Structure formats: C-alpha cells, structure tokens
Amino acid sequence: MHITRYTDYSLRVLMYLAVKGEALSTIKEIADSYQISKNHLMKIVQQLNSKGYVIATRGKNGGLRLNGKPEDINIGVLVRDIEQDLTLVECFGEGNTCVITPACQLKTVFAEALECFLQKLDQYTLADLLPQHQQAKFVQLINLN
C-alpha cells in the first residue's frame, strides 16, 4: 500500500514554501534542495497551482509561494484532492470484474477503513508537519544539500 510520489512531493513542496514564508521560491531551487526531478516537480506544481494551493508567478524573478497560511491547509483534504486513485481494491473501481461483488462486504469494509485513514489526516494541517521548534533544522537540511 503506497501513496504516489506525486502526493509525497506535493507535500514536500508545500512544506518548503511554508518555511519560506512570503519569499518566492523557484521550482529549480526546490528540485535541487530535495534532489528530485525538476520535470516531475513542474507537473506537480502546475496542479498545486491550478487547485489553488500555491500561487505561481511567471517570468523573470517569478516563483512560487503558498496560497494561504500553513494552518489552513488540511492534510486530509489535500490527499483526497491530489492522490489520483483511491481505488483501494478492484471492486472500488470502474472495471471491476470480481464476480462475488454483489454478495460481498469487502468493499464496504475497506471503504470504512479508508475513511478512517483520511479522517485521521483531517486532524492535521501543513503547520503540524513542521513544528516551530524544528524549522531551523529544516532550513539547515534544505540548504546543506
């Protein structure tokens, strides 16, 4: 069971921007800091922008900043929004071929469990991922590499 890198990287970008505050950060800068693919990050940022999580400014001296305060960005909401495919088991999806589906509670049970998972994430915001007392360390880590 995995979350895609796509969602993982989305969260990392938002954390980066949260620490940066009002200052703009470029995609290249973020990709370099995290040592991950700039190309992949572009797609991610594009989506974060279109969904309103970040504000992207094009052109020279452009860059990214967080849209809103870290305390207002909920992790559960974000994951529901970004993680592309939450079809936990085959019978969740469109192309389900499982013959017993009409007589089986698997779907119900897993749907409940997924909801529990997401509700736990609903209890946290971006601010919780970066406690105040660890922000200095965070800055160190992203500058060192």
Tell me which residues touch its own copies (CB under 8 A): 1-3, 5, 8, 11-12, 15, 33-35, 75, 83, 85-90, 97-100, 102-106, 109-110, 112-114, 116-121, 124, 128-131, 134-135, 137-138, 141-142, 144-145
75 binds, among DNA, its own copies, none (CB under 5 to 8 A by kind): its own copies
Contacts of 98 (CB under 8 A, 6+ apart): 90, 91, 104
Of 17, 97, 93, nearest in space to 55 by CA: 17
x/- letters, 38..57, toward DNA (CB under 7 A): xxx-xx-xx--xx-----xx
Q: Which DSSP symbol is given to 55?
A: E
Of 89, 75, 100, 76, nearest in space to 14 by CA: 75
The residues that bridge with 125 in the sheet, in sequence order, are: 74
Q: Pick from 85, 103, 133, 145: which binds DNA (CB under 7 A)?
A: 85
Q: Where are the alpha helices (DSSP H) in the chain?
A: 5-20, 27-34, 38-50, 75-82, 106-121, 126-129, 135-144
By CB under 7 A, is residue 34 in contact with DNA? Answer: no
> Please, which residue, 43 or 137, has the CB nearer to its own copies?
137
By CB under 7 A, is residue 21 in contact with DNA? Answer: no
The residues that bridge with 63 in the sheet, in sequence order, are: 57
Of 12-20, 23-31, 112-120, 132-140, the window that binds DNA (rule: CB under 7 A) is 23-31
- Footprint of DNA (CB under 7 A): 2, 4-6, 8, 25-28, 36-40, 42-43, 45-46, 49-50, 56-64, 84-85
